[in-house]
Chain A
């Protein structure tokens, strides 16, 4: 059983794309997978289900309005379960500010369903808020997707600082599984950034880089994982190999 957060405090690094495609490939490997969307923009939810509305979402779970079991929706195309998100999540920090044990709500809510799945993935919001802290407190480790550019290194610094703050302030140690390189183009700066991630931060970089490929974006429009939408494209093959490497 693995509980993993896909996180980067920098936006636009293909967090949702990575979450969806890794989860879908794990499902294709025969694993029972649950994806929990924690982004108020609901990108993962919309990529899987389009504009479908959900009566119960992760917001209701956190606000103690329903059980997490009641929010789970299965996607036949992606072949995994999803707990959808909604825009109300953006105001949840205010609602929970004075809540006793506010940083471990998700961890407690997840308890009854942990044994149903081989992997639970959190697709985190780029902002550092209570939901991100909750995801980290419920995760064993994290996966950091980055586009190989200068600002990604700053994003990694922020994440490592956040993990240290969780350790010191909340007493929980979250591991870093490794860094996934997304939107890769074979340029000198990309290689330099990857070297820095390994040498300066001592983090594992997965060997399957995800190439910059339009099929990934087209797959979102088709509400399909890229390995089903365009199985022969380089990005689809890279995600399939990455999912095996990550497992």
Chain B
């Protein structure tokens, strides 16, 4: 992921503010039965698939709402009859106003988007009272 030059960071936005990011892809040629999407994976591993539409400059574009300057992964895929047909390399970027790319399909075996980052296991705090540790004990305590 390229380093961010502070000159080109919107000073009116806080990191994590919602921002409409325009994905713009040039150099794509689609047949009638093909569709192009961008797959966006956020830091929690949630994947969103957005269709791209042709604009006046004959580039394909879509807009996604992301978290300003937060890191995410994205990958362009072309589907034919609902099946993944071609794809680009998955890239990492920081959310900003526009992501401009040139279509470069990879012919290798489809590379999956980066796996969801491991989250620390959630455990109950040690000082929690006994009666809130299970539903049964809560029902017993409050008489449901």
A interface residues, Cβ below 8 angstroms from B: 99-103, 128-130, 133, 164-171
Contact = CB atoms under 8 A, between A and B. Distances in A.
A168 B96 contact: yes
Interface residues of B, number: 13
Nearest to B10: A170
Contacts of B97: 167-171
A169 B96 contact: yes
Nearest to A129: B7
A113 B4 CA distance: 34
A126 to B, nearest CB: 15
24 contacts: A100-B11, A100-B12, A102-B11, A103-B7, A103-B10, A103-B11, A128-B7, A129-B7, A130-B7, A133-B7, A133-B8, A165-B5, A165-B8, A166-B8, A167-B98, A168-B96, A168-B97, A168-B98, A169-B4, A169-B10, A169-B96, A169-B97, A171-B10, A171-B98
A168 B98 CA distance: 4
B7 A99 contact: no
Contacts of A171: 10, 96-98
Q: Is the interface of A mostly helix, strand, loop or mixed?
A: helix
A129 to B, nearest CB: 7
Contacts of B10: 103, 169-171
Nearest to B22: A171
A167 to B, nearest CB: 5
B9 interface: yes
Nearest to B5: A165
B100 interface: yes
B84 to A, nearest CB: 27
B104 to A, nearest CB: 17
Interface in B4-61: 4-5, 7-12
B40 to A, nearest CB: 16
Contacts of B99: 168
A222 to B, nearest CB: 38
A64 to B, nearest CB: 15
B102 to A, nearest CB: 12
A169 B8 contact: yes
Interface string B89-107: 0000000111110000000
Contacts of A99: 11
A22 B29 CA distance: 43
B88 to A, nearest CB: 18
A74 B97 CA distance: 39
A101 B13 CA distance: 9
Given A100-B11, A170-B97, 15 more contacts: A99-B11, A101-B11, A101-B12, A103-B7, A103-B10, A103-B11, A165-B8, A166-B8, A167-B97, A169-B4, A169-B8, A169-B10, A169-B96, A169-B97, A170-B10
Contacts of A170: 8, 10, 97
Contacts of B100: 164, 167-168
